[in-house]
């Protein structure tokens, strides 16, 4: 279980406003959660706090009742936003996906038979035809699926996806959601941050609406009316 307890964060600077203000929430294993909010709402700040890239200005982060810090951190897998990727790195699609197998599993050693996992994920994401292509030569949607493949082969307990639907058409989005649902059913915590949801919110177990503070937390049917308010 992941707990965010009364967490606030302010970026350095004398005139900096709070990026997160007294945020409290709990994420359970086996859950698929949507994180909503406009630009500047604190979504990426929250992900960076969970990754350990930032330290809360106040409040606590806990994993299974212990501080979210080494040696108690869960195995994390991140799909970053596109602007954080060096697209010109000369790497083939299959090799990029296989990088995920280098991440240790919950008990420490890498997963067994990683090549089977890589091929399985490549097939699920429709990447076999471009397996030997360089990442820079792919379309935007293919690049996004290749990055997702690297995430899915990791034996992670917590999956963080930041704007994963970029350049994906509706059928590809549906496939992605199905894959994320499967990951949640394996007991993982899956947290998906985006501002572009289409009609998919009802497929999530839970929706969090963030605007520096947590404005809503519940099923899509309960949160949607708040999104439609002027």
Distance between CA atoms of residues 202 and 223, nearest Å: 10
Whether residue 125 sits in one domain with residue 98:
yes
Q: 8-22, 85-99, 177-191 — which is least confidently predicted?
A: 85-99
Distance between CA atoms of residues 145 and 141, nearest Å: 6
* 195 within a domain of the structure (yes/no): yes
Residue with tokens 């549906």, as numbered in its chain? 174
Does the structure show a pLDDT above 80 at 106?
no
Does the structure show a pLDDT above 90 at 202?
no
Given 106, 138, 156, the domain boundary residue is 156
Which residues span the domain enclosing 175? Answer: 1-74+157-230
CATH number where 176 lies? 3.40.50.300
- Strands 32-36 and 189-193 turn out to be parallel
Q: What is the pLDDT of residue 139?
A: 86
Whether residue 106 sits in one domain with residue 14:
no
Does the structure show a pLDDT above 80 at 225?
no
Using left for φ > 0, alpha for ψ between -120 and 50, and beta otherwise, residue 108 falls in left
Buried b (16+ CB within 10 A) or exposed e, 138-152: beebbbbbbbbbbbb
The stretch 17-33 carries a mean pLDDT of: 94
Q: Where are the alpha helices (DSSP H) in 63-217?
A: 93-99, 114-124, 140-152, 170-185
Whether residue 110 sits in one domain with residue 202:
no
Whether residue 165 sits in one domain with residue 136:
no
The stretch 117-132 carries a mean pLDDT of: 89
Distance between CA atoms of residues 216 and 54, nearest Å: 24
Q: 137-141, 183-187, 195-199, 213-217 — which is least confidently predicted?
A: 195-199
Distance between CA atoms of residues 16 and 91, nearest Å: 39
Q: What is the pLDDT of residue 229?
A: 63
């Amino acid at each position: 279980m992941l707990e965010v307890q009364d967490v606030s964060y302010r970026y350095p600077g004398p005139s900096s406003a709070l990026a997160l203000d007294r945020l409290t929430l709990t994420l359970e294993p086996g859950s698929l959660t949507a994180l909503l909010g406009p630009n500047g709402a604190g979504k990426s700040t929250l992900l960076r706090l969970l990754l350990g890239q930032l330290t809360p200005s106040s409040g606590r982060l806990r994993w299974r009742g212990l501080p979210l810090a080494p040696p108690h951190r869960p195995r994390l897998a991140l799909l970053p936003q596109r602007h954080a990727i060096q697209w010109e790195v000369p790497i083939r699609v299959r090799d990029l996906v296989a990088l995920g197998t280098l991440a240790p599993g919950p008990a420490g050693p890498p997963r067994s038979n990683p090549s089977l996992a890589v091929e399985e994920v490549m097939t699920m994401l429709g990447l076999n035809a471009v397996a030997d292509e360089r990442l820079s030569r792919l379309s935007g949607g293919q690049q996004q699926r290749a990055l997702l493949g690297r995430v899915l082969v990791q034996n992670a307990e917590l999956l963080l996806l930041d704007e994963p639907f970029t350049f994906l058409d509706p059928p590809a989005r549906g496939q992605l959601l199905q894959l994320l649902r499967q990951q949640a059913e394996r007991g993982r915590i899956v947290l998906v941050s985006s501002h572009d949801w289409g009609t998919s919110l009802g497929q999530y177990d839970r929706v969090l609406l963030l605007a520096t503070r947590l404005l809503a937390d519940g099923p899509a049917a309960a949160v949607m009316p708040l999104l439609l308010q002027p």
